[in-house]
Structure 1
Amino acid sequence: MSNLADFNSQLTITVIGTGAWGSTLANLARAKGHRVRVWSRRSGDCLQTALAKADMVISAVSMKGVRAIAEQVQQAEVPSQTIFVTATKGLDPDSGSEQQLPLLPSQIWQAAFPSHPVVVLSGPNLSKEIQQGLPAATVVASDDMAAAETVQFALSSSSFRIYTNPDTLGVELGGTLKNVIAIAVGTCDGLQLGANAKAALVTRGLAEIIRVGTHWGAKPETFYGLSGLGDLLATCNSSLSRNYQIGYGLAQGKKLDEVLAQIEGTAEGVNTTQVLVKLAAQQGISMPISHQVDCLLRSEITPEAAVEALMLRDYKPEVH
């Protein structure tokens, strides 16, 4: 199969990860008539069998599992034309320095499979809504536009619209960094601070995302698209968001471990906050909201004190 073969052809698609997002993507692929296999480390199935003759491999595992899964797939035989699609939003905690961005999921997959195209899928995609057939849109980004278009046509439907974007870094960072802001917004709502405070927090949060994203080389306009502002709005306005639930729970006086135990699946914002704040401090990037979220997650500050710290910052122009 060439990347730009017959877009109506039936593909063999392997989905790695059986959580809510992996299951949703598998269902989207099945609805388009593709041959779909689903695999996870817990299933006990043979990975080599799941990967046999795969035209596309979609990874929908948590950030902490990406490196191990990529290494495991490396040990199997993967067809030379296979496209890898990553649907994970997070930062690798075991990489990054004062000069270097921590690795993103796509970079881990690309390092493992340098001769294969890697595509990032990211956007305002609450899996429960998509499972209900409600309309949604997302973005696929890659250095290989032919591969991105193959994924676009393979998963698009009348209720799930997919756009392409060549800014892989920006698309992936937008979906990753908004999880930190979602924790802050959940805290804001949990404290019942009102619509004005929430609007200010989301807006300044977007500015923070753009600041770090452009510092690391992404295009600023990408963050105003679906994978940036779109994902931020969806995550900050729905109780279905796991990261929003964390902030809301902390504002109710619950401990982080207690909140995490009540959430289905992985809230990537916790790990992302820790990695992001450390790197931002090393590189001199101002991220006041993320810093307060980090202090809150570490139980170094109360939700009320975190809000007060943001409101009492020095006066400055909005744009500078």
Structure 2
Amino acid sequence: METKITVIGAGAWGSTLAFLAEANGHQVRLWSRQSSSTLADVLADAEIVVSAVSMKGVRPVVEQVKSLEIGKQVIFVTATKGLDASTTCTPSQIWQAAFPANSVVVLAGPNLSKEIQAGLPAATVVGSHDLEAAKLVQTVFNSGRFRVYTNDDPLGVELGGTLKNVMAIAAGACDGLQLGTNAKAALVTRGLAEIIRIGNHWGAKTDTFYGLSGLGDLLATCNSPLSRNYQVGYGLAIGKSLTEILTNLEGTAEGVNTSQVLVHLANQQGISVPISSEVDRLLQGNVTPQAAVNSLMLRDVKPETHLP
């Protein structure tokens, strides 16, 4: 059945999601701040509203949508990966707080926009406490080249997609320093352990992080020059300044903001985040890429897993 969908955010990811839904025969309206139509016009009669704006744009967009008349049957899908700098909330938490009566679905996975636009196969996850809403979103986007799975742990789905951006910056730096495959494998593996540790502390399920939105997204963004966060780490490792990198970047590298918010929260809550801490120090200009590597390598020895 045809579903009326409004996608807010006409960047690479928003445009890709609009294309996928439209290719499945759904009625799609794409909106950005540069659109000639008003937000009220494109939201009229929408059954699903997809938010694909940057993290900084989430709260302003939510406030705009909140000022309009939105029915309780409307499903909100958030495809943003980040943490709000002022409240430390995730995008879905911001949407749910504004619309407590509506279902909110999180969409995340190893989804590099340029590959999907080129027609290459990919898969993603839609997570929600309302599984019927998740199943509806699944049918909207699922196709022979874009496989969609459901998950009942939206926080885990969201955190996997958010926290891997910080690890992708580290991975880019690793490659920029030409540290080799062994170092990269160790970094990604320990990065996943760090993501799980954070996620468990905040109430997410471990199994979710071994899925597409966790390990899958981590592998994609830590190994592809198409990843903006990877590009940030790589650029820093070869001597570019953060300002220069971000100025020439196509789109937003959410890991830059996420690392600062994450490390602040982790320090407050006593969560060990050695890789994220070094990434944050690197982004703040307080350490060189090589010094960050040395700091991680010289940490006290310990068991790989926690003993009973």
* 1:308 to partner: Cα distance: 0.5
Secondary structure of 1:10's partner? coil
The equivalent position to 2:38 in structure 1, one of 46, 53, 60, is 46
How many residue pairs get matched? Answer: 306
What are the residue-to-residue correspondences of 1:162-173 with 2, within 5 Å?
Answer: 162-173=148-159
In structure 2, what is the equivalent of residue 244 of structure 1? 230
Residue type of the alignment partner of 1:54: A
- CA distance in structure 2 between the partners assigned to 1:294 and 1:229 by the alignment: 21
Q: Residue 160 in 1 paired to residue 146 in 2?
A: yes
Secondary structure of 2:124's partner? strand
The equivalent position to 1:205 in structure 2, one of 191, 205, 217, is 191
* 1:41 to partner: Cα distance: 1.5
Q: Residue 146 in 1 paired to residue 132 in 2?
A: yes
Residue type of the alignment partner of 2:107: L
- CA distance in structure 2 between the partners assigned to 1:187 and 1:69 by the alignment: 33
Secondary structure of 2:40's partner? helix
The equivalent position to 2:47 in structure 1, one of 48, 55, 59, is 55
What are the residue-to-residue correspondences of 1:99-248 with 2, within 5 Å?
Answer: 102-248=88-234
* 1:305 to partner: Cα distance: 0.4
- CA distance in structure 2 between the partners assigned to 1:291 and 1:37 by the alignment: 40
Q: Residue 94 in 1 paired to residue 86 in 2?
A: yes
Residues 178-234 of structure 1: per-residue CA shift (max 9 Å, x gap): 000000000000000000000000000000000010011111111000000000000
CA RMSD of aligned residues (A): 0.7
- CA distance in structure 1 between the partners assigned to 2:231 and 2:178 by the alignment: 14
The equivalent position to 2:270 in structure 1, one of 284, 289, 292, is 284
In structure 2, what is the equivalent of residue 33 of structure 1? 25
- CA distance in structure 2 between the partners assigned to 1:78 and 1:264 by the alignment: 33
* 1:75 to partner: Cα distance: 1.1
Which blocks of at least 5 consecutive residues in structure 1 are unaligned? 1-8, 96-101
Q: Residue 12 in 1 paired to residue 4 in 2?
A: yes
8 A Cα contact 1:54 1:78, kept in partner: no
Which blocks of at least 5 consecutive residues in structure 2 are unaligned? none
In structure 1, what is the equivalent of residue 246 of structure 2? 260
In structure 2, what is the equivalent of residue 71 of structure 1? 63
8 A Cα contact 1:74 1:112, kept in partner: yes
Residue type of the alignment partner of 2:83: L
- CA distance in structure 2 between the partners assigned to 1:104 and 1:143 by the alignment: 15
- CA distance in structure 2 between the partners assigned to 1:257 and 1:274 by the alignment: 16
* 1:43 to partner: Cα distance: 1.6
In structure 2, what is the equivalent of residue 6 of structure 1? none
In structure 2, what is the equivalent of residue 3 of structure 1? none
In structure 2, what is the equivalent of residue 4 of structure 1? none
- CA distance in structure 2 between the partners assigned to 1:39 and 1:78 by the alignment: 17
Percent identity for Structure 1 against Structure 2: 71
* 1:81 to partner: Cα distance: 1.4
Secondary structure of 1:300's partner? coil
- CA distance in structure 1 between the partners assigned to 2:107 and 2:48 by the alignment: 13
Residues 34-87 of structure 1: per-residue CA shift (max 9 Å, x gap): 111011112232111100000100000000010110010011222331110000
* 1:262 to partner: Cα distance: 1.4
Residue type of the alignment partner of 1:164: T
Secondary structure of 1:58's partner? strand
Q: Residue 23 in 1 paired to residue 15 in 2?
A: yes
Worse-superposed segment, 174-183 or 33-42? 33-42
Residue type of the alignment partner of 1:190: G
